[in-house]
Structure 1
Amino acid sequence: MGGCFSTNTPATPAAERRRRRRRRQRAASPEKGSGGGAEGVARVVEFGYERDFEGRYEVGRLLGHGQFGYTFAATDRGSGDRVAVKRIDKAKMNRPVAVEDVKREVKILKALKGHENIVHFYNAFEDDSYVYIVMELCEGGELLDRILAKKNSRYSEKDAAVVVRQMLKVAAECHLRGLVHRDMKPENFLFKSTKEDSPLKATDFGLSDFINPGKKFRDIVGSAYYVAPEVLKRRSGPESDVWSIGVITYILLCGRRPFWDKTEDGIFKEVLRNKPDFRKRPWPSISTSAKDFVKRLLVKNPRARLTAAQALSHPWVREGGDASEIPVDISVLYNMRQFVKYSRFKQFALRALASTVNEEELADLKDQFDAIDIDKSGSISIEEMRHALAKDLPWRLKGPRVLEIIQAIDSNTDGLVDFKEFVAATLHIHQMAELDSERWGLRCQAAFSKFDLDGDGYITPDELRMHTGLKGSIEPLLEEADIDKDGRISLSEFRKLLRTASMSNLPSPTGVPNPQAL
């Protein structure tokens, strides 16, 4: 897929309105050569979709247009229901990649069917000239239109949080399915109706793609103002959607873009080098919680950025929302799968580290624990763990050994995972280490001290044996962490162990983790 960068978007709301008005006028003009459709094409592309579109639907007014086709309102001849139809011209599919893009978009819409904040997919049809994608009709307009209609192009914090919560739910659902939207921007979110409290619906999955565990996208796609730093570095994944939502949130709250320049290259430099400005009006009057939320989404290092599910647990978004809306976090499932592959010493070290984190800091993990603990018994059973891990669709078919994961996390060997055990296996280490280096250092020292019983600055084999209660040789536990091979563990070695992968956890040459290890 090619990029879809557009940098001619003006900086002011008035100019934005003029640009969008011109775009609609262009869209309203008839298609050139629309009578023949696929004229001049040597062969007709076949998709295998149903071919009775005209018998099923009556096409109405034009709603908009894109690179390969137009979107119309239509009416179901049988039920009378109104729908939206994306009509894609086969004549413009002169390259195999264009055909694959259409097939992938239909596949994605089918996979996401039923989510309350994603435009509903009904069916796909074709004839010799066109492909027709029939979807839910959203008549409330684009999110961008509503932003521009607001006073000073700003939302109130309360209203912004409602909008952002819905976007995050879309991202979290996509990521659980191994899918990245890759073009989250206000133009790609529609309101179901013109009502002020209308639900928001994500649309246009034309740039979206599935991604395998451990892989990264190497191409640059998206819209310039919303593109994440790692996309520009050609190493992006699900985290890029969260960055884009952070940019949208910034705009909702202050009416300006966080990264602005007159040229595309200038925008990219801003994204890569500069931080958003929280000093200009109206930011001094915006709540600390809202600013903290935006800052945690616009973290340039994707590993330190909040995940979509984590962001849903943030107090600013969570207020007024239902905790049951928070889906299982794909990164939490990943961390549990990784925990089983860590050395015994690292597992003990993570448990010690977990004891240094306070209740407020664990709010997102408590939401995750509650989401997995279906019967609300206060512990996770093997069946509940199996149910949670099955939600991570890219890994579901790889047969994770749920019992092995439970046994690794279950430190008191009662066959269940309580919250304390859960935290040790699911901590977001890179976020902790990179968002507050001073606090990270204090945490590591506190965790280290639980092993360093005599306080001499080293963990010895005897101290490790006393802490763990293990019998027999303790040398295998020391081996991985003891970098200088002096038979003991220093604080720096301990800190490095917490932040690095175990040797058994290094990526395969293909970059995909070995599923057999799960």
Structure 2
Amino acid sequence: MANLCLRLRGAQHAALSTSESPIPRENDGGEGGRRGPGVNFGYENDFSSHFQLKKKKLGRGAFGYTYKAIGLRGELKNQFVDVNIIPKTKIITPFDFKYVQREVNILGGLSAHQNQIQFHKAFEDEEYVFIVMEYCKGGGLWESIHSRGGRYKEEDAKRVIVQILNFAAHIHLQGVVHRDLKPENILFAKESEDATVKVIGFGLSDYIQPGKRLNAYAGTSPYIAPEVLDESYGVSADMWSIGVITFILLSGTFPFGGHSIFDSILHSEPNFQGEAWSTISNKGKDFVLKLLIKDHRRRMTAAEALSDPWLRSQKPDIPLDISIYKLLNSYMLNKPLRRATIRALSMALIPTRRQLTYLNAQFQLLKPTNGYVSIDNFGMALMKYMSDAMWKAKVLDIIHQMPKEEIIMDFEEFCAAAISPLLLKAIGNQDYIVTEAYKHHFEQWNRVITVEDISEEQNLETSVWKWVRSDGKLSLFGYKKILQNTSPYLL
């Protein structure tokens, strides 16, 4: 176990300093102590009139140091806060400037959440930037892992993961990708077993607009998702990082490593052969695998993960999932016959995916009227979470893109829209599922159809006579071909 602890406290994860050293002075950063020329963020410059710093240094981040302080006036009078102090000697390149500015802007732009560090205000003077945040006296997750002998008990890990997932669902709904989720960026509000988790470290975070992908390499190497290495990614990259964190909590080791960690991330699979995994439930291993799946399209979202059987004992609330909006748009772009085939597929898939809890939660969050949801339901559900971050990420554009006149759906059709056909790829018995789906289709939506009908709807010029049975109804072969045209990754 001692070796596990040492491995977890590697060079990339240095222990936090608790010395009584003074605030870093001018020669503490930059090459040769150079100060970033003309650095000015436009923040207020009267920090010392609002807060009094304590001498004890709490930690060290990418650019600066964290100190404890006490409020001198206003709402924070006599209250403790954490202050991230960044020497301007560290802010030399445009990237450095953007890193600091982004952390303040995104922290200030997100709506409040119990698992997100509370941002109070930013100040600056000629030498420093002061980012004032909520005081967390419970320490960090990395230190907590070490204090427990290198790993968490399974139930204790669940309590932490549920809170990280709640945080991820919250920022993803608002169009923000964290891009640096790791134990060092996870704190505890107080010193207790049931302490609230607080996520920090927004310097690499960014906005992501509906339908867009990010392409800038960002993150900490052991936690980076495969698609980040390919420089095309979205919010699912955070879910991969949460999978790595879960793996570490349960086993005390990293899922990917070796001389070439990036090669391992791209091509290796997580190994559950270690001694620690012998005590972990199959549901726990399955949960990790559903986050560390290399195809980001098949990876669980935060809301889906919260509905996973492994976390059922925690009884988590399931938040609104932004992916529902994206899937709905994709579904509504299909023509009637394709929609009918997808609806039949969803009826066969739902029992297999055990997703009824998740889907019902999403449907109810839209506040259906007499059992139906419309474009207004989708719009009002999003507006409930409106923030500056959502405006900057243009999240509401996803509503404007929806075909307004066609969105009147009951729960059954909602399920069809919300279940991606890509899920079939993760199921071993595809042929059985598709055959069952065809039975649903034949019983409920099949009708006499001509070859010309299919050719026109599917935009095909070649003969599709094999798609139609002798009685003029869609054949099983035709049903499979329509599913393939809906998603070429199937079958």
TM-score (normalizing by structure 1): 0.81
Gaps of 5+ in 2: 468-477
Equivalent positions of 1:101-500 (< 5 A) are: 101-151=99-149, 153-261=150-258, 263=259, 266-322=260-316, 325-359=317-351, 360-373=354-367, 378-380=371-373, 382-390=375-383, 393=390, 394-398=393-397, 400-401=399-400, 404-405=403-404, 407-410=405-408, 417-430=409-422, 432-436=423-427, 438-449=428-439, 463-464=448-449, 475=453, 478-480=456-458, 482=460, 484-486=462-464, 489=467, 490-500=478-488
1:355: how far off?
2.1
Q: Per the alignment, do residues 228 and 401 of structure 1 end up closer, same or farther by CA in structure 2, a change over 3 Å counting?
A: closer
Q: Per the alignment, do residues 382 and 492 of structure 1 end up closer, same or farther by CA in structure 2, a change over 3 Å counting?
A: closer
Measure, in 2, the Cα distance between the counterparts of 1:36 and 1:311: 41
Measure, in 1, the Cα distance between the counterparts of 2:382 and 2:463: 38
Secondary structure in 2 matching 1:98: helix
Measure, in 1, the Cα distance between the counterparts of 2:430 and 2:20: 54
Measure, in 2, the Cα distance between the counterparts of 1:205 and 1:159: 26
Secondary structure in 1 matching 2:397: coil
Q: Per the alignment, do residues 388 and 338 of structure 1 end up closer, same or farther by CA in structure 2, a change over 3 Å counting?
A: farther
1:348: how far off?
1.7
Secondary structure in 1 matching 2:70: strand
Whether the aligned pair in 1 keeps the contact of 2:175 and 2:209 (CA below 8 Å) is yes
The superposition leaves residues 437-468 of structure 1 with CA deviations (integer Å, 9 ceiling, x where unpaired) of: x4333333333355568xxxxx99x6348xxx
1:219: how far off?
2.8
The superposition leaves residues 341-393 of structure 1 with CA deviations (integer Å, 9 ceiling, x where unpaired) of: 22222212211212223443433212211222378x64435543221244583
TM-score (normalizing by structure 2): 0.85
**Map of 2:472 onto structure 1:** none
Measure, in 2, the Cα distance between the counterparts of 1:185 and 1:65: 15
Secondary structure in 2 matching 1:355: helix
Whether the aligned pair in 2 keeps the contact of 1:483 and 1:493 (CA below 8 Å) is no
Q: Per the alignment, do residues 478 and 355 of structure 1 end up closer, same or farther by CA in structure 2, a change over 3 Å counting?
A: farther
**Map of 1:73 onto structure 2:** 68
Measure, in 2, the Cα distance between the counterparts of 1:449 and 1:34: 74
1:477: how far off?
7.2
1:29: how far off?
7.4
Secondary structure in 1 matching 2:297: coil
Q: Per the alignment, do residues 173 and 44 of structure 1 end up closer, same or farther by CA in structure 2, a change over 3 Å counting?
A: same
Whether the aligned pair in 2 keeps the contact of 1:247 and 1:258 (CA below 8 Å) is yes
Moved more, 295-304 or 93-102: 93-102
State the one-letter code of the partner of 1:88. I
The superposition leaves residues 154-207 of structure 1 with CA deviations (integer Å, 9 ceiling, x where unpaired) of: 222211111000111111111111111111111110001111111000001111
1:74: how far off?
0.7
1:92: how far off?
2.4
Secondary structure in 1 matching 2:298: coil
Measure, in 1, the Cα distance between the counterparts of 2:132 and 2:301: 32
1:241: how far off?
0.6
Measure, in 1, the Cα distance between the counterparts of 2:181 and 2:29: 34
1:28: how far off?
4.7
Secondary structure in 1 matching 2:123: strand
Q: Equivalent pairs: percent with the same residue?
A: 34
Gaps of 5+ in 1: 1-9, 411-416, 454-458, 466-472, 502-518
The alignment yields a C-alpha RMSD, in angstroms, of 3.2
State the one-letter code of the partner of 2:131. I
Q: Per the alignment, do residues 362 and 18 of structure 1 end up closer, same or farther by CA in structure 2, a change over 3 Å counting?
A: closer
1:56: how far off?
0.6
The superposition leaves residues 203-259 of structure 1 with CA deviations (integer Å, 9 ceiling, x where unpaired) of: 011111112223322232212211111112222221111111111111111222211
Measure, in 2, the Cα distance between the counterparts of 1:165 and 1:133: 27
State the one-letter code of the partner of 2:138. G
